[in-house]
Structure 1
């Protein structure tokens, strides 16, 4: 049932959000010259997939988890996109393709070994990763791997249609601040 909602809302978001996506893309061309950011992430059953989002950091920024990146690498447009969470919009394509869900554990990088071990032990990789979830609306990010894995596992155990919509609504209305960066 949740997959139906994923497909419906991601398709609607891509169709109705197309003007916004195009505007951000064009502004991104002027901001960094490369408005889309593609990165291999850990997916369901630990299979790799390519996550797509709007670029928020300078093109030459090292490919590390956000909490390890320097705040000085975030562009002015990127700062706005992160605050409004608009940088996540292209991930609707990942949701439509079945690589992600709207709600689920945020997909991590393959070099985040501590987080992978914690999530693996709790069965977190048995579900599709998501754009938002319990950890995100409670400002728990990848800088605390054990807490994040435990929160993700709890979300998976307690998932229901009402919680699915609750996490989406909380995200859309601005709860949670996204991944931290070093200052």
Structure 2
């Protein structure tokens, strides 16, 4: 029953979010194009449920010339204001509602890992979290901090797997809304 209810909520939530977000994505897409030529949508392979890879979508928030660098090295990259805005506001994540709609992701679940994050993927396999669809937000995101060690992230993903329910999902969603509606950090 939980799986069916969760999927119905995912589809309904993703459809509503995509309808609301489409005009926002179009405006943001134009701004991305103005400040940096190249694709508006960034795609990347991510590990999904049971290790199956899928194409992950985001609004491109880094210049095309940036290449693959870890997030902790972004301080060395000169970003246009639109890139900083997208990253601080999390609006670069809006295309992931499409991933939810087509079933690659869920609204709530462990964040999708890169296939190269082998330690995280192995730990999730051990604690059962690898069996879940990855989510837009998850238990680890609302109970920890950016840059947490992989072992802590996997531990929280395992906790979510052990106590997953529609009530737990509602708690995660409420905490995510609280996070997203707070004033952005000053840099």
Tell me if TM exceeds 0.5. Answer: yes
Matched, 1:174 2:179: yes
Query: What is the CA–CA distance in structure 2 between the aligned matches of 1:26 and 1:36, rounded to whole Å?
Result: 11
Higher helix share: 2
State the match for 2:150 in structure 1. 145
1:23 equivalent to 2:27? Answer yes
- What is the Cα deviation at residue 57 of structure 1? 1.6
Q: Write out aligned runs for 1:130-141 (5 A).
A: 130-141=135-146
Distance 2:98 2:122 in 1: 28
What is the aligned residue count?
Answer: 176
C-alpha separation between the residues in 1 aligned to 2:14 and 2:107? 8
Q: 8 Å contact 1:141–1:148 — kept in the other structure?
A: no
Give the CA deviation at 1:64: 4.8
* Bigger shift: residues 53-62 or 7-16: 53-62
The worse-fitting range, judged by mean Cα deviation, of 131-140 and 7-16 is 131-140
Structure 2: unaligned runs, 5 residues or longer: 183-187
Q: How is 1:82-121 mapped onto 2 (pairs within 5 angstroms)? A: 82-121=87-126
Task: Please name the residue that 2:17 is paired with.
Answer: 13
Give the superposition deviation at 1:51: 0.4
Please report how far the alpha carbon of residue 165 of structure 1 lies from its aligned counterpart in structure 2 after TM superposition: 2.0
1:142 Cα offset (Å) = 5.9
1:137·1:176 contact (CA, 8 Å) conserved in 2?
no
Larger Rg: 2
Instruction: Please say which of residues 154-163 and 44-53 is displaced more in the overlay.
Output: 154-163
- Hey, which bits of structure 1, 4+ residues long, moved more than 6 A? none
Over 3 Å counting, the alpha-carbon distance change for 1:93 and 1:175 in structure 2 is closer
Aligned alpha-carbon RMSD (Å): 2.1
Q: Which runs of 5+ in 1 are unaligned?
A: 178-183
Whole-Å Cα distance in 2 between the matches of residues 176 and 137 of structure 1?
14
